Amino acid sequence: MTGAQYGRGEVLVRLLRFMARRWHILLASAASVILYAYTVSFGPIAIRYAIDRGISVGDVGAATRYSLLLMGLVAIGAAAWFATRYTSALLSQLLAHDLRVEAFKAIHRQSMEFFDRMAAGQLISRITNDTNRIARSLSWQVRNIFNLSFTAAISLYYMFTMSPRLSYIALAAMAVMAVVNTKYSTMIRPVYDKIRNQLGVLASITASNLNGIRTVKALALEDRETSRFMEENEVFMKLGLKAARIRAVYGNASQLVLGLSMATVLYYGGRAIAMGALSVGELTAFITYLTLLMWPMRALGFTIASIQRALAASQRVFEIIDTTPSVTSPPGAEKLESVRGEIVFDNVSFSYVPGKPVLRGVSFKVKAGEKVLLAGPPGSGKTTILKLLMRFYEPDEGRILVDGRDIRSLDLDSLRRHMALVPQEPFIFSGTVRENIAFGNPEASDKDIVRAAKIAKIHDFIASLPQGYDTLVGERGVTLSGGQRQRIAIARALLRDPEIILLDDPASNLDAETERRLADDLRVMLKDKTAIIVSQRMSLASLADRIIVLEAGKIVEEGSHGELMARRGLYYRLYTESMRGEA
């Protein structure tokens, strides 16, 4: 199930609720914005009085007093602006922090079908890029809007007290400026988006050609690749020219509106001074107010567009947070304290895609301590059985029981604590060998880690490394061979001491000799454990007490190795083909 879809207003309300968690910082930020707006707006009044009551009448003392007042206002404004920037940045970073944590928690809550549907790159982008965009917009753009609102309200009050006529001229100029710049941002934003996208296309072509330069030269494709790059580069150039034309037209339009409004105010203000209806100080203050208000109006379009993009980013983050996992622990779920290891599949059917079943009425029982091999051609549903047992997915029909209890009625975490899955491609985290083995049990002692490594027959190799267990293995374990990664994953599983171990084709990436050694070692490792082993390599059949053969999602054969070989059915064909391939 996907997360709920929200309108922009609902998204804004949710953001405000997140911000309200830090209400004291929000209150400090609002107070500092108001203080800054008031000091900035009162500055032109100080200039007015310095001119009218000091400079114009030759009163040096009055001029000095108002100059000092202006200096004080500037100092207070600077302090208020520092507080505004700091508190708004702090608030936005805390909001982004909270959103990232909530999204990360939500990702870990999800069932596997969520990750089948969502690309990893999309999730990473939402947690990192989208939350950063939200932080930037709230820190800078929202602050600008509040600052402009308060400054405009206070400034317009003083402007109307001095000259209503000139104030209407200023309001008209501000409205025109807002329309012009909103139109500008509406036109330029999609062009900039295309430019960024096209830059990515150029970077992709360049990177692929550099990485595959030998292939390009070997196939004599230099001219073709150059032509392809030139075509995309021309698209990039045309987009840049289009953006330049828009900037030239609308940049001059803003300057034109500001110049015309200044000229109009000077004309009517000059006439008002000549008629004695306005003082020189008032006209000077008025022009200062006009300049003060017009420059923020130029950025209004971009500010609104930036906030819209932040709301869109917030919606994408909230979609992750609100996504309901399809597999959860039921209310009042029973916690597994101990497990004998008996497993029952009772008429289980399952499909990843509706109408395309992967398992069809599968039923079998694994006794406590029994080792069962699941064999069959690719796509027969073997790995799916392990995934269902781990409750990565829910069956469409039927039940799965552990020690007689339906796993859907059990606490999910406690169920998985009694099982360990070693996947076909074990994931090795970037870090040390010690950290990778102890990943599922961070509190494990060094003695326990070494013991697990010895059982998994990887200790001697680890001891030969430069820093032993503290050796870094690189991203995804690139410094290790397939067999070494497999054994570290087995040691990780054994360290948890689970009663049930699930091995998904553990020999798929191993050579024949390493595979034989692994089979011998697994016999020791799996002692007293319930184990289900999925394998395409029939050499692991010697580990199994019983073999279950699947084909097209159904169990077609079941028995010991000798029994199935005697039947000369599907298992016999798979085994002989596997042995022929190894030979």
* Per-residue H/E/C for 541-566: HHHCCEEEEEECCEEEEEECHHHHHH
Question: How many angstroms separate the CA atoms of 362 and 209, rounded?
Answer: 50
Residue 5 scores a pLDDT above 60: no
**Side-chain half-sphere exposure of 63, counting CA atoms within 13 A:** 10
Q: Which fold has domain 343-582?
A: Rossmann fold (3.40.50)
Share of the chain above pLDDT 90, in %: 12
Question: How many angstroms separate the CA atoms of 169 and 271, rounded?
Answer: 15
pLDDT at 581: 58
Any idea where the domains of the chain sit in the sequence? 8-322, 343-582
Using CB atoms within 10 A of its CB, is residue 84 exposed (0-12), middle (13-18) or buried (19+)?
buried
Question: How many angstroms separate the CA atoms of 294 and 59, rounded?
Answer: 33
Residues 6 or more apart whose CB falls under 8 angstroms from that of 226 comprise: none
> By the 8 A CB rule, do 168 and 219 touch?
no
Residue 1 scores a pLDDT above 60: no
pLDDT band at 429 (very low <50, low <70, confident <90, very high): confident
Residue 401 scores a pLDDT above 90: yes
Residues shown for the chain: 583
pLDDT at 548: 92
SS3 366: strand
Share of the chain above pLDDT 70, in %: 94
Residues 6 or more apart whose CB falls under 8 angstroms from that of 561 comprise: 541, 542, 544, 547
- Bridging pattern class, strands 343-350 and 397-402: antiparallel
DSSP state of 141: I
Residues 6 or more apart whose CB falls under 8 angstroms from that of 452 comprise: 437, 444, 491, 492, 494, 495
The pTM of this model reads 0.71
Of the chain, the end-to-end C-alpha distance in Å amounts to 49
**Side-chain half-sphere exposure of 285, counting CA atoms within 13 A:** 29
pLDDT at 372: 92
* pLDDT 10s digits, 63-114: 899 889 989 989 998 999 899 888 888 888 888 888 888 889 888 888 888 8
Using CB atoms within 10 A of its CB, is residue 190 exposed (0-12), middle (13-18) or buried (19+)?
exposed
Average pLDDT over residues 375-399: 90
> By the 8 A CB rule, do 445 and 436 touch?
no
Residue 154 scores a pLDDT above 50: yes
* pLDDT 10s digits, 185-240: 778 778 877 887 788 788 888 888 888 888 888 888 888 889 989 998 999 999 98
pLDDT at 365: 93
pLDDT at 132: 84
Which of 47-51, 417-421, 579-583 is least confident?
579-583
* pLDDT 10s digits, 246-299: 878 776 777 788 788 888 888 888 888 888 888 898 889 888 888 888 777 766
Using CB atoms within 10 A of its CB, is residue 203 exposed (0-12), middle (13-18) or buried (19+)?
exposed
Residues 6 or more apart whose CB falls under 8 angstroms from that of 518 comprise: 483, 486, 487, 506, 507, 510
pLDDT at 7: 66
Residue 481 scores a pLDDT above 90: no
Residue 4 scores a pLDDT above 70: no
> What token pair was written down for 522?
């697994």
Residue 176 scores a pLDDT above 80: yes
Average pLDDT over the chain, rounded to whole?
84
> By the 8 A CB rule, do 166 and 286 touch?
yes
Question: For residue 246, which phi and psi values (nearest 5 degrees)?
Answer: -65, -45
Residue type, 185: S
Question: How many angstroms separate the CA atoms of 315 and 297, rounded?
Answer: 27
pLDDT at 68: 92
Average pLDDT over residues 399-403: 92
Q: How far is CA 348 from the centre of its chain?
A: 35
Residue 525 scores a pLDDT above 90: no
Question: How many angstroms separate the CA atoms of 30 and 22, rounded?
Answer: 12
Question: How many angstroms separate the CA atoms of 33 and 144, rounded?
Answer: 9
Residues 6 or more apart whose CB falls under 8 angstroms from that of 135 comprise: 92, 93, 95, 96
pLDDT band at 538 (very low <50, low <70, confident <90, very high): low
3-state secondary structure 168-223: HHHHHHHHHHHHHHHHHHHHHHHHHHHHHHHHHHHHHHHHHHHHCHHHHHHCCCHH
pLDDT at 245: 87
Question: How many angstroms separate the CA atoms of 186 and 275, rounded?
Answer: 44
pLDDT at 293: 81
pLDDT at 508: 64
pLDDT at 3: 46
pLDDT at 110: 85
pLDDT at 241: 92
Helices (H), 456-569: 459-463, 482-495, 512-525, 561-567
3-state secondary structure 21-89: CCHHHHHHHHHHHHHHHHHHHHHHHHHHHHHHHHHCCCCHHHHHHHHHHHHHHHHHHHHHHHHHHHHHH
pLDDT at 76: 92
pLDDT band at 2 (very low <50, low <70, confident <90, very high): very low
Q: Does the domain at residues 8-322 carry the CATH identifier 1.20.1560.10?
A: yes
Residue 346 scores a pLDDT above 90: yes
DSSP state of 130: I
Helices (H), 390-510: 412-417, 433-437, 446-455, 459-463, 482-495
* pLDDT 10s digits, 302-315: 677 777 778 878 88
